Structures are given as C-alpha cells and as structure tokens.
Structure 1
C-alpha cells in the first residue's frame, strides 16, 4: 500500500500545521540554541532542530502504522526505515535556516521531499512550510506548484532585479559569486535554501546561487517547487543534478533561475570563459 502524491501533500500539510503551532514559539529563545550533539549529517544539532524533527518523525510513524512503507533520511537522525523495503524515500530538513531560527531571524522553514526512487530526478512531492510567515509551498511532479492553495509561477523577466545567494564560507563564496552580484539590482543573503527556491517559484526572486556544496535534503523539496513553477536548477557550472543520490553527503554548488535566459546569463557571469 502506498499514498498518492495528493495524499502525501495532505499528510505533510497536517504535519506543517503542528510545526506552525510549536516551532515559532521556541525560535529566538535561549532554549532554541542549546547544543545537543552532532547530527547524522555531521552538523551541530540544536534543540530547535530536534524539536522540529521529533514532530515530523511522530507524524511519519503514524503514517507507517497504516501499512505505508518508506525510508526517512533526515539531517539529524540519519537514515531510518519504516515497514518493508521499497523505493519511497522521505528527505527531511527539520529546520531549513536553523541559524536564523535559533537567533529569532524570521526566515526559516521545514523542508520535506518525497521520492519514488534513489535520485533527485525521482522527487515526487516537495513541501516547504515557512514557519515565520505561515505560508506553505508544495509541488507534485508533473502537476505544478502551489502556495497556500494558489498556483504559483516564476517570473518571466530577464533582468537580475532580485538575486539571492548563500555563502557558508563568505571569504571564498562571495568572491566566486561577485560577478553575478555586481550585475544585480538588489541582492539578498537570506539563509534558508529550500525557502529561497520556493520563493523563486512564487515569483519573488530571479536567481539563487549557492557556492558551497549542499546536501540533498537542503534543497530537494524547493527544487521540485521551483521546477514545477517553471524554473531551472543546475550545478553552478550548468550541469544536470537529477542523477545526484538522495542521502546525507554534500553534493555540489548550485545555481537556480526563474527562466532559461536568466540562467544562461547567470552561468556566464559566474563561470566567465569556462562557459
């Protein structure tokens, strides 16, 4: 027995409601930034990360009790199998933008992707709940993207009006991205990759560049939301990322754009003569 994509969205939205009830009350508090241990991905796990993960894990455990089998891959608890062996994977980032959440900066989310295979080309459902604004973004492969139930679509402009970037290692990352940033009307470093991609799908951002290799759970859900809204995402040199495995390992630097013209122009700026 398996859930349909629409049924997965329904279950994820139930989980999102619970997250919205609890996590914003903790964000920015002294408890939020209490260090607990190193998570399965190797990054530090904070109290707020564990709290969000616990909510999601409890929700998927209830799903599994109805005979639904899958494998959960999460930044904190690692890989956990539910039920019999099958090809359904859940990629979870409990807090996308955890540094923002623990400090009380209102830009953080929970990101969940459902895959029916081993690789990113197999993403079936993407769900990102913005825990600081009560907005929910989701997508179903081949059917489109939505924000709070309304269809969303990327911008069609070919101007770099609003460019977002993520710079985990600023001394190195910003230098590589500088040609793109200097060509942009406005730039923002927002701190939550999946949420950046979801906002791009809703028409708020033109290009997002991530110079440090990210893990697949950091961007998988946002990737589908963006693509189903008409956007493009590749590695930072323009290579396809659909064959990347869903797992805990770091993958590649990324660049995402609202349309093909923006993408090609952004690649030329970042890579120069290599394009």
Structure 2
C-alpha cells in the first residue's frame, strides 16, 4: 500500500508515545490521521499539528468506538489503515505474602480483567469494527483493501514477575494475529503485530536517570532505549510492504527479559 493523501488511518492510543510517533510518521507521508485516545489535551494538540482529527474514546466501550469511527470517517472517509497502540500495564504478583505482617494476598480478579479488557479485547474490538468498514472499500493493487498493525510486547514471550495479566493480554494479541489475518485474507486486509521491547515513552521519561541507564544497559545492542519513531518505522514497513502478513515481530535490540 502506498501512503499518501488518498489513505485514511486510525491510530488508537495515538496521543503520546508509540501511537503519537506513528501518527506523525503517517501524517508526514500525507496520510489523513485520526487519533483515538482518552487524553484530550495531548490528542487535540497533536491532531492540530498534523492536520488530523482527534476522537476522545474509551476503547473498552462499543459506543465510544462506534462514535469515534463515525466521526473519523465523516472527516477523512473510510480508513484503510488501523494501528492499535492503546494499552495499559500493571505489576501485581499472582499471590504474595507481606513481609511485615505475613498477610497473604492474591491478584484481584477485577484488576486482571481490566488489563485483558483494555489490551486484548479492545484491540479485537477495534480490529473487527475497522475491518468491517474496510470491506466496503474498492481494492487497490493485488486486491488490497487495508492493513492493520497491533501492538503486543516482548512480555508476551518473556513476561517478568507481576506481569501475569499484562503478558496474557499481549500474548493474546500475538495469538490472534494469524487467525485474523486468515479470516481477512479473502478480502485483501493484512494483519501484523509488533512486540516492542523497552522504549523511551512518556512513562519511562519520568523515571530517574539511573533507572533509565540501567534499563538501557540491559539491552544487548544497541545499549539504549528504543526511539518511538523506530516503532513507527516498522509500522510503516508493515503497511507499505504488501507481502507482510500474519506476522508477529519483536523490536527489542535482542533483549530477553529477566524474571524481575
């Protein structure tokens, strides 16, 4: 797929971090970008800078996603590109003992479910609704109608202590990538997933310098945090390379996460 002003894209979690870098890279190619996010201040500012549209949306809500897609399509037309970057994380052990009191606790199931709903179910929600819209589009070269890129994490394969919910949610994204690509292959819609390692997103930017230095040192090569635009570069390749389909690819400087 050639990226230009004839292409409309939706980027969930597009107001900051990996999503914002992706929105900027797509807009630089002339793509009409719709940013889906809860953060209205950041989202509206970025949309103005890019000449795009911002939609305040909770991706766990059918109503919100439907309304956001309708707003984006009224401005830009039906999207041919969907990039799913919205997600959350936490760190809670499955069961643990308080060292001071001896109290035994377990991971609250509501907290586990929240991670699954935001990271996994909402990703599928956006894929299904966007793909249904893409089916209405006329095919391009090779019969292509659209391209979808999802965001998992290296935690899908080597999750650390306290990441049971997060790892499960991201492993679910990896696990559904090929079946969804197969579901949509007859309609010319490609589906791929990126598993990012440690990237210099706003969450890490707020960490102390010594913490960031230690994280950078843990990366085999290059010994630094990933730049969000490096993620966006891979998104661009997955969209523009028509033979890229059904793949889940690590982008991590060869890191393999330790248990803690």
Structure 1 and Structure 2 fold alike (TM over 0.5): no
Indicate the structure with greater strand content: 1
In the superposition, the TM-score normalised over structure 1's length comes to: 0.28
Structure with larger RCO (C-alpha < 8 A, sep 6+): 2
Indicate the structure with greater helix content: 2
In the superposition, the TM-score normalised over structure 2's length comes to: 0.29
